[in-house]
Chain A
Amino acid sequence: MLNPKILLKQFGIFWAVFIVLQLIVSTPPVRNGLAGMNASLFSSTAQRFMPEIKLNAFAKPENGEILFKFHSQVQADEMIREMQKSGKIAKVSVPEYEYGIDPAYYVNMALIFLVAIFLATPLVWRKRFLLAGIGILLFYLFSFVRVIIKLKYEIGQLNIGLYESDPAGFLSLHKMNNFFNSLGLIFIVIIIFWATLVFTRKNMEQIKLQLT
């Protein structure tokens, strides 16, 4: 017989891990370290998929916010071409834009939830950590998609002739941004990752043993 009381213990582990990780991640050194890592990961990935903009990102030490600074590469090329046509040799100053995201809500909370749910799964501890690691990788792949969609949408809203020029395309970008960046979907995607990695025959046998 499976004992439902053990489920309560796992529920307790989930909340203990979640609260402890939240407390650790909210301390300024950890928060800023994570934000810096996320800024560099997100900006390099976004840059690869958005060559039409020149993008940089960094973490603001005062609040751990990730600030994206970017300008349109298309606009810069056009300005240089015009300068060359007119024969003027001067420094080209392309308008630069900024966009900030709060990683506490955008990444950290979901990531902590993911780690807590894997560590609370009744499996041997080595496997819990291993599956949590794979889950983190999957979550980052998903986050890259979210960041690219978010940045494209936010840049489109600036009306600088990049992503808003095709109204139908921009409308679908708007819908995709609403969908992929809703908190509910992010958590549900994590649950699907968790279920995919945990619900194998071998794991289920282990879980049954642990719950007995």
Chain B
Amino acid sequence: MSRQQKKPSKQKQNNHKIKSRLVSWWDDQSIALRFLGLFALLLGLFYAFYYSNFNLKNIHPSILNAQAKLGSFLVNLFGQSTYADNQYIGGDGFNMSVSGGCDGLEVTALLVSGILAFPSTWKEKWKGLLYGGSILTVLNILRLPMLYFAGAKGSQALFDFLHVQGGFVIFISITMFIWGYWVIQVLNHRKTASVPSTTNTTDT
């Protein structure tokens, strides 16, 4: 009898231990996990839209055309005579096409997802989106003329380096820097505001 009574109590104890460990683990991780979950979800939503037929047929080509036109206009400001034809920028014996991946939308989505997923007020988020988004947009617009000059006046190797590295590594590192800077500003602002109830948000 006593054996039978001990078994369920041990099991209960074990269950309780596992439960309390899980609860404390969740308490430890929940803010980070919530951030990660939301961050991945937002990026997933972006990619679902980015690769949808609707975007690829109706929206994306217009964005690329507009970027090519703007790029050509900026190049011409520096005394060149280029033209934009659909997604192509051509002139002076050098042509380049603005295609998917060169549009800067993925890095912008990365910044937007990072800012939206981070636990902060909407006022803080708007500031980050406005300043961060503007910096990335300006840099991406300047990237096209820079690439054109690298290809037309420089070498193919320089063009390839700036195209691939510039397209992703430089832009992603800049995006992460902007995001990190924004997070630091948000956390510092909370500390100076000295509201005790909000101090635990720094755990993310």
- Chain A residues engaging chain B, CB cutoff 8 angstroms: 1-4, 7, 10-11, 14-15, 18, 105, 109, 113, 117, 175, 178-179, 182-185, 187-188, 191-192, 195-196, 199-201, 204, 208, 211
Contacts and interface: CB of A to CB of B under 8 A. Distances in A.
Nearest to B53: A175
A109 B172 CA distance: 13
Chain A contact surface mostly: helix
A199 B32 contact: yes
A199 B43 contact: no
Contacts of B40: 192
Chain B contact surface mostly: helix
User: Quick one: which of A179, A185, A196, A199 has the most chain B CB within 10 A?
Assistant: A199
Contacts of B168: 113, 183-184, 187
A208 B184 CA distance: 10
A117 to B, nearest CB: 8
B43 A188 contact: yes
Given A7-B177, A211-B184, A187 B32 contact: no
Interface of B: 28-29, 32, 35-36, 39-40, 43, 47, 51, 100-101, 106-107, 110, 164-165, 167-169, 172-173, 176-177, 180-181, 184-185, 187-188, 191-192, 202-204
B51 A199 contact: no
Given A192-B43, A204-B32, A109 B164 contact: yes
Given A109-B164, A179-B51, A183-B101, A201 B28 contact: yes
